[in-house]
Amino acid sequence: MRRKLLVGNWKMNKTPSEAKQFALEVVKGALYAQDHEIDLGIAPTYLCLQTFKSVAPKNMLVFAQNVHFEDHGAFTGEVSASMLKEILMDGSLIGHSERRTYDNETSLKCAKKIRALLNNDLIPLYCVGETEQEFNEGKTKDVIRLQLEEGLKDLTVEEMKKIIIAYEPVWSIGTGKNASEEIAENICGFIRDHVEKMYPSSSQEVRILYGGSVKPNNIAGYLRQNNVDGALVGGASLTVSSFAEMIHALSE
């Protein structure tokens, strides 16, 4: 049985004091999640990671939003997996569409970052998804197949089982145009089948999240789908009240 997982992606939002405030106020929601076997995670900015982790409920995973694939060196502005490990982070988002769009993050680069995380016992949360144009041209599965094959290459079956995948159609992120439950189930099912082809006997343990304009009022519908194990949420994860509402909706 795969446990449900709700992860908030804060993007470039919240100062350390705001992050700390959230961590203090989310305690009740986190207890409720624990009682209902729901896992939680938040991905704050680098600047807030330690503050957030030091105050956050123990059952809340803390993810970075990005990581460099090298361990150290002349890479101005970057942070490595071993550095995240030392400050007790749980993992990192990889290949979010905003990084693919604005920072030239390719799937092959993502593969190197995933390798660096796994080598440091950290959880990669690998994001895939098609643009609106690709969706309209019926290329969704081709795009995602390539993102999976390039981003998840050269793993062992045991490593594959540790990876979390998020299907986030680019056209649905921050737009309010969320994908239908049918699309989410269809593509998350496709992802699971493809992971199984790449790494036989791994896919039943891999958690696959849907992301893109998920809100308290639509999250439960996604979670009723067989192949959707949780959600990666941007805007609606920024307030404790809507994050807590989503936790409650997940337990229905």
Which positions are catalytic? 96, 168
Cβ 93 to ligand PGA shortest distance, Å: 8
Letters for 233-252 (x = contact with ligand PGA by CB under 6 A, - = none) are: xxxx----------------
Nearer to ligand PGA, 116 or 219 (CB): 219
Letters for 182-221 (x = contact with ligand PGA by CB under 6 A, - = none) are: -----------------------------xxxx-------
Which range binds ligand PGA by CB under 6 A, 80-88, 111-119, 129-137, 166-174?
A: 166-174
Residue 163 CB-density burial (10 A; 0-12 exposed, 13-18 middle, 19+ buried): buried
Per CB under 6 A, which of residues 1..20 are in contact with ligand PGA?
A: 9
Biggest CA–CA distance in the chain, Å, is 49
Considering the rule CB under 6 A, would residue 29 count as an interface residue with ligand PGA? no
Please report, to the nearest 10 degrees, the dihedral formed by the alpha carbons of residues 126, 89, 116, 40 taken in order.
-20
Which range binds ligand PGA by CB under 6 A, 56-64, 118-126, 137-145, 229-237?
A: 229-237
Nearer to ligand PGA, 124 or 234 (CB): 234
Size of the site for ligand PGA (CB under 6 A): 13
**HSE-up (13 A, CA, CB side) for residue 122:** 32
> H-helix or E-strand containing 40?
strand 38-43
Cβ 72 to ligand PGA shortest distance, Å: 29
The rounded Cα 179 to chain-centroid distance in angstroms is 17
Considering the rule CB under 6 A, would residue 129 count as an interface residue with ligand PGA? no
Considering the rule CB under 6 A, would residue 174 count as an interface residue with ligand PGA? yes
CA distances from 22 to 26, 155, 185, 238, 243 (A): 6, 36, 31, 8, 10
Tokens of 222: 């996604």
CA dist., res. 75 & res. 66, Å (int): 14
Residue 162's DSSP bridge partners are none
Cβ 16 to ligand PGA shortest distance, Å: 21
Q: Whole-angstrom distance between the N-terminal and C-terminal Cα of the chain?
A: 17
Q: Which residues sit at the interface with ligand PGA, rule CB under 6 A?
A: 9, 168, 173-174, 211-214, 232-236
